[in-house]
Structure 1
Amino acid sequence: MSEQLTIGLEIDGRPHTEEIEPRTVLLDLLRERHGLTGVKASCERGVCGACTTLVDGVPTASCSMFAFSADGSSVETVAGQSPDGVPGPVQRAFAECGGFQCGYCTPGMIMLTTALLREHPEPDDAQVREWISSNICRCTGYQMIIDSVHRAAALLKEESA
C-alpha cells in the first residue's frame, strides 16, 4: 500500500477530511468517493473543460489537479448548484435556453458561468465567449450556451432584487 495523505477540504459547502494516495486527482476523489458524477471525466488532460469545478472560486480542471492541492480549499461542483434538488438559476437558464444539448459539457459550462457571473454580473457577448472558450462543446451549439449565460445573469439579477 502506498503512502496516505490526510487532507481537509470543503465540498459543496460541507467539510471533509480525506485519506488519499498522493497520486489521487480531484476528479477521482469527487466522483469515486463522493459519487459526484456530474463532474465529468472526459479528456483527463485538462483541455476539454467537462470536469470544471470551482476551487476557491476559480474554475479548475479537476482531472489535472492533485487532490492534495485542494487541502484547505473550498470546492464547488455542479451538484452544489442545487443542494436541495431544486435547480439553481444557472441550471434553470441552461434548461430554458437549450444550453444543455447532449449534456456532457454542461456541468463544466455551468461552473464557468457561475464564476463568470460572480465576477461580471452582466457580461457582454465578448466576455461570455472568452470565458466559455476554455470548454469544448462537441454539439457545436455555443449560441444556446451564450443565451443561457445571459438568461442566468437575468435570473440572478431578478433574485437579488
Structure 2
Amino acid sequence: MELKTRIESIIKTTTVNSCTETRYREPLIGFASAGDPIFDEMKLIIGSHQLHPKEVLPEAKTVVSFFLPFKTELVKQNWKSQGPLKEWIQAKGETDSLIRVIDEKLKAELAKDGVKVVVPEIIFDYMNKGFNVAWSHKSAAYAAGPGTFGVHHMLI
C-alpha cells in the first residue's frame, strides 16, 4: 500500500473506531513537501521564530496535516448557543485525546517501515517572543492544503 494511502487509512480508521461520544465527519488530510518554499515564506511573514520542518526533523520529506471536523449537528448547536456548550467542550477534549492517539499510531505504524515521524507540539518561544508559536499547526495545515486563512487569521 502506498505510504500516502496508509497514512490516510490510519487517520480515518482510528477516527471512525474511536471510543468517543463525539462523532466526526470525514477527516480532512493534506500533504506538503517539507522543502516547499511556503515554509521559507512563513519564516519571513510570521517571524524567524517560526520553525521550518527541516528544523524540526532535518531529514523531513513530507508534512502531514489533518483535521477532524465535528458532525454538523454539533456545529449547529454550538452556533445557536449563547455560551459554552457542554457538548462542544467535551468534543474538544475528546478530539485532543483522539489526535494524540492518531499521532502515536502513525509513529508506530510508519516506524515499521523505517519512516521517522515527529509530531511537534504547539511550541511557544517564551525566551524570545513570549506567546508566539514556534510550530504552527494552522500554518502547516495551510501549506498542506486542507485550509486557508480567513479575515481573522483563523484557518477555514
The structure with the largest helix share of the pair is 2
TM-score when normalising by structure 1:
0.28
TM-score when normalising by structure 2:
0.28
Higher relative contact order (CA 8 A, sep 6+): 2
- Max radius of gyration: which structure? 2
